[in-house]
Amino acid sequence: MFRPLKTLMPRSLYGRAALILIVPIVTIQLVVSISFIQRHFERVTQQMTQGLAVDLRYLLTEADGAASAAGAQLRAGRLAQALEFTLAYPADWNGGADRRDIWDLSGRVVARTLREALPALLAVDLQADSRAVRLLFSTRWGPMAVTVDRRRVTASNPHQLLVLMIFASVLMTVIAYLFLSNQLRPIQRLAIAAEAFGKGRVVPYRPRGAVEVRAAGNAFLDMRARIERQIEQRTLMLSGVSHDLRTPLTRLRLGLSMLPEDDETEALLGDVADMERLVDEFLSFARGDALDEAVEADPVALVRRVVENAQRAGQAVTLGQAEGAALVRLRPAAVQRALENLVGNAIRYGKRAVVSVVVTDRAVRLVVEDDGPGIPKERRDEALHPFTRLDGARDPNRGGGVGLGLSIATDIARSHGGTLRLGESEALGGLKAEIVLAR
């Protein structure tokens, strides 16, 4: 019952606030129209009609009291002229049922009041001429038709009051809407600032509006400052740790290079290289895209560059679908790093990879597919967590991954207001990693 009504409700705050304004105004108009116009002015119409009925009763009495038809016509004609009636006696109107428009509510009161006061009344016509009332009476000397000005039986004030009500309602609605717009504008600015920050962009924002909106704006600014400070501190800390670790690693590499070349020395040099790679991956995960500024970039050109770099490195990476060339505001270095991580994973666990890009009005889809063993459906969410190393089909010992590639791509996608989805490649049969960036 409530679901269809819910679908008809406006979704925007402006629409719902306007509905809150319009519904009471319309309700008040209906209440005033029913309780005031329909009751008060119908009573006025009834009183005016009763006054007309007195004149008509006198006219009928004079006509019936005449000694002949000619005398009745003469007496009725003189009296009708004095009372400002239009008289047809004898009448050429055959009568019939009462006639009035459906929307003529006061006409119903007129007809009912006249019939109650004048038993000789045969028919009332309020439809032939909207400015007159035609009445047919039965008299001693034949039917009599009387035409009366409509203004003598109907109050004209209801129309004036209705116009005044509509004008006042429209005026108050416009004033209320302007005031409401001024109150809702700070909420819209807060929503824009929050949405931009969710996509990795910082737009200028200053709390304005009501006290509650200012409080929400100040809370948002505090939250944004804490998040930025946390990201900066994490980046600085990991950068310092990385720098401190590189120094002893460099001394180890230099010391090992001075030793005789044998299998043991080569193995130690490999361990040092692995340690350096781990340090680089830890730093890349901690840094994310905090040091990258959002600019207008072409996602298709960015994907082509990643594919070309992989091909120059001797990797079996090809470009698949590339549609919707358009400039999108993003962090190119961060997105490129996320794609390179996905391509690296694809080549590590498979033999070839295909990279595709589709740009729409609402999002940017970057897809990397491989022919590897893939990831079981029940473990795909787990694979997105930092430092998760899946065994079995995607053996972590092949290439020495530390479980940060998908986490880095996930963080970068989320910082752009998007997400990373894992699925199964229909074309290659392996893993399908899809980055969706909101525009």
What is the rounded distance in angstroms from the CA atom of residue 28 to the CA atom of residue 168? 12
What is the rounded distance in angstroms from the CA atom of residue 430 to the CA atom of residue 49? 91
Q: Is the dihedral of CA 11, 14, 17, 18 positive or negative?
A: negative
pLDDT at 398: 45
The β-bridge partners of 297 are 328
What is the rounded distance in angstroms from the CA atom of residue 95 to the CA atom of residue 89? 14
pLDDT at 399: 46
Which residue pairs, CB below 8 angstroms and at least 24 apart, start in 269-277? 274/400, 275/245, 275/249, 276/246, 276/249, 277/400
Rounded to 5°, angle at Cα 378 from 377 and 383: 85
Phi and psi (nearest 5°) for 84? Answer: 65, 45
CA 276 remoteness from chain centre: 50
Rounded to 5°, angle at Cα 212 from 209 and 217: 70
Phi and psi (nearest 5°) for 237? Answer: -65, -50
Q: Can you list the residues of the chain whose pLDDT is less than 70?
A: 1-10, 34, 36-40, 155-162, 199-200, 238-239, 242-243, 281-292, 386-404
pLDDT at 391: 53
Cα distances (Å, whole numbers) of residue 106 to 32, 55, 154: 17, 20, 7
Q: Of 273, 267, 259, 325, nearest to 297 (Cα)? A: 325
Q: What share of the chain is helix, strand, coil (3-state, %, to 5)?
A: 60, 15, 25
Enter the DSSP assignment of 327.
-
What is the rounded distance in angstroms from the CA atom of residue 257 to the CA atom of residue 309? 30
What is the rounded distance in angstroms from the CA atom of residue 368 to the CA atom of residue 357? 9
Contact present, 144 and 86 (Cβ < 8 Å): no
Contact present, 433 and 342 (Cβ < 8 Å): yes
- Grouping H, G, I as helix, E, B as strand and the rest as coil, residue 368 is strand
Q: Which two tokens stand for residue 192?
A: 């824009």
What is the rounded distance in angstroms from the CA atom of residue 94 to the CA atom of residue 249? 119
For 338-393, the pLDDT digits (tens) are 898 889 888 888 888 999 999 888 889 999 999 888 888 888 887 777 666 665 44
Domains and CATH numbers, the chain: 2-158 (no CATH), 206-287 (1.10.287.130), 293-438 (3.30.565.10)
For 71-106, the pLDDT digits (tens) are 999 999 999 999 999 999 888 877 778 888 887 878
Structure-token match 């899946």, residue found: 390
H-helix or E-strand spanning residue 120: none
H-helix or E-strand spanning residue 256: helix 211-257
pLDDT at 386: 67
Structure-token match 């006249």, residue found: 114
pLDDT at 279: 73
pLDDT at 149: 92
Q: Which two tokens stand for residue 239?
A: 């950068």
H-helix or E-strand spanning residue 432: strand 431-438
Contact present, 114 and 124 (Cβ < 8 Å): yes
Cis amide linkage into residue 90, ω under 30° from 0: yes
pLDDT at 58: 92
Cα distance between the two ends of the chain: 37
Q: What are the residues whose beta carbons fall under 8 Å from the beta carbon of 329, sequence distance 6 or more?
A: 201, 294, 295, 296, 297, 439
Residue 269 neighbours by CB distance under 10 Å: 16
